[in-house]
A and B are shown apart, each in its own frame.
Chain A
């Protein structure tokens, strides 16, 4: 049997589309409504409520908590302040990315780490001589994301904390109508938004208070389809879609270093030691072979391709996760791994891996498109990530 999140009683009742999918052994909604568009637009225009419970979460505490995390992740955890959230990768001994996630400093000696993959063993195996406790709270901690321009207003109505003062990538304790939660100003949409972390027993209660308070602000339960579009617009990568975990790679060509994923900024080489540091220091000295970039496809080119077969462009309504070749002339110089039509930007965009020489923004390349059973090429160019970066995100 697949697991139900603690919100399942609510989400199941709302899932008119019956479009479910698996995420980390749970079943979650791909979309709720029959037509998923509104859920996406809520992210950009109102407030979307997303069940993100399937994330793996670990509570790391004790005297050596920061030391343990610093052995594992590439960012400098020891230097973080209480209430700060770090986005980071962590790597194997060869400097290849295993996973990416966040480390939130809840207090001096307590951290909560999130990850896309289970990492309990990895953490424990690094804790050999340390005074630290590691608790897998993945199932006991429920999590919601409330993302969009009205998200702050909704939470301000409910919580007793200084929400306006909660800066980007900070976390605070709070109560929502008396229910204890932690709220972080983080998210996966590249917009103004919050993630709410709570004891699974309070899940339905928290869901209900949010829905009730958010009704006047356009709160809309949203599924993964909507989230996918938003995250691509935000230029945010997804494990096992945009990159293969070093844990799962079967051949060397499937491995990626943080530099190759445009995440060099998460690598603190002045940290004395962490797993993979030696290899990453070497790589930092030279140039990586691959880069992770944004790609924007020229509309006119798409129009021409479809016009050739007597049609207007038929682009998928839902984001795709596939491997799509990118060419320069005859040579393949990379591949896109996620893509979508952005309803907000009115552009066909993708996230892609390209060889370093083709990575500067503006570089022209061709993206493969299947038009009426034939493989064709559309004109595209490398674009800066994120595609969408509103001021309200950090305001």
Chain B
């Protein structure tokens, strides 16, 4: 069997790459290891505007849902803080508990939005190459610097100062109220093996903030993957239950894919949306790579720390999205446990009522994100009893924070190894490579490689590449642009 391009993985980025290649006239074959089924988890993240503009997706299937209020937080004295899309409304809410912080809220939102906008510009194009000697690429570099500078001194200065900062220090600079700082601080450590005091966490918050409205520090949810898959017929084929086990090589170049059952599919271009280590060390194999590439792939840090719980409740709770985490120290202590290989004794959690499910039987589904649950706890590998213990802890926290919390009818707990198996997140890390400063921009997926790899004609089009997980589909779109630019 042959095509002109193979895409491994029918996740968001894989499908986006396939769409763009198909649009440019390539015959694309997408290979997905899982059997066809709905992803149970809604897709969280702002969507790359190019994807919305170019790919003609059915907006009803896409179903972007922005929660309002975007977060609800229990306060120490028993009340609740709700943060809204409307900045003035949020400022009013904050004024009850911290008048000075309320004054600063609009300026903070504007500044963070401006910065996230700069990053969005960087995200929706291949990473700048500081080492380039090519005149066109140099021009592009200069343009990036000029564009940034044109946004004003403040933005440029912020960019230089804030990028290496910890989210804790950034928030300490702006606000006094512990609860407010904790809510925003969590955006700096989501899915991250770091605490809010770690450098680079401000960048993580901004990364997630790209494409979101000003003042909203949680990403919207959608069914992007379903919409992308739904728009495929007529453009390209998606083969489910087709597990790639090896990349075919000819003269050291990628020439196709070998499936688990032995079938060989030839194609002069292979784009893989899996993580770098899996792609290079398993699918390509060390024989075809030099020691430098192998060491670089092994060095990529992708430590998953998230547990995702699905709760079925007897009734709908009185929140949309609830955050539990008292202050930045609470988040930091939760991280301390993970540092030493332990599951957080006091995890911070964020519980979201699934907006997509009609409560026809009166039951509500609540998805809970909990941190930190290390992939390989030091004391023992994850057992069912450990999962259950974590689940009980989460339910306790919810019950403590929500008066009249409905009864939990059943619960599933998925920890990093489970998430790895279910979603292909290496070690349970959805960013593939942790969004740290040294794994950012031109350092993704491997320093200086852009979307290519040491194997010619093999590309990495998933979150392992720039810009990472957010905005959704950006890595796939950039990879496609690179492939199309290079292939001719």
Contact = CB atoms under 8 A, between A and B. Distances in A.
Interface in B286-303: 286-288, 290-292, 294-295
Interface centre among B252, B290, B292, B294 (most CB of A within 10 A): B290
Contacts of A71: 286-287
B252 A278 contact: yes
B291 A275 contact: yes
Contacts of B411: none
A126 B290 CA distance: 9
Contacts of A126: 286, 291
Interface in B225-274: 252
B281 A128 contact: yes
A128 B290 contact: no
A126 B281 CA distance: 12
B447 interface: no
Contact of B286 (A93, A122, A128, A278): A128
B285 interface: yes
Nearest to B294: A128
Interface string A275-294: 11010000000000000000
B287 A125 contact: no
A93 B292 contact: yes
Contacts of A308: none
A128 B294 CA distance: 9
> Is the contact region of chain B dominated by helix, strand, or loop, or is it mixed?
helix
B285 A129 contact: yes
A275 B292 CA distance: 10
Interface in A120-170: 122, 125-126, 128-129
Nearest to A129: B286
Interface centre among A125, A128, A276 (most CB of B within 10 A): A128
A394 to B, nearest CB: 36
Interface in B363-393: none
A3 interface: no
Contact of B295 (A125, A129, A278): A125
A273 B287 CA distance: 7
A125 B294 contact: yes
Nearest to B287: A273
A276 B292 CA distance: 11
Nearest to A272: B287
Contacts of B281: 128-129
A276 B291 CA distance: 10
Contacts of B294: 125, 128
Contacts of B290: 93, 275-276
A129 B252 CA distance: 19
A126 B286 CA distance: 8
A125 B293 CA distance: 11
Contact of A273 (B288, B291, B292, B295): B288
Contacts of B295: 125
A278 B281 CA distance: 19
Interface of A: 71, 92-93, 122, 125-126, 128-129, 273, 275-276, 278
Closest A-B pairs by Cβ, 6 of them:
A93-B290, A128-B286, A93-B292, A129-B286, A125-B291, A275-B291
24 contacts: A71-B286, A71-B287, A92-B291, A93-B290, A93-B291, A93-B292, A122-B291, A125-B291, A125-B294, A125-B295, A126-B286, A126-B291, A128-B281, A128-B286, A128-B294, A129-B281, A129-B285, A129-B286, A273-B287, A273-B288, A275-B290, A275-B291, A276-B290, A278-B252
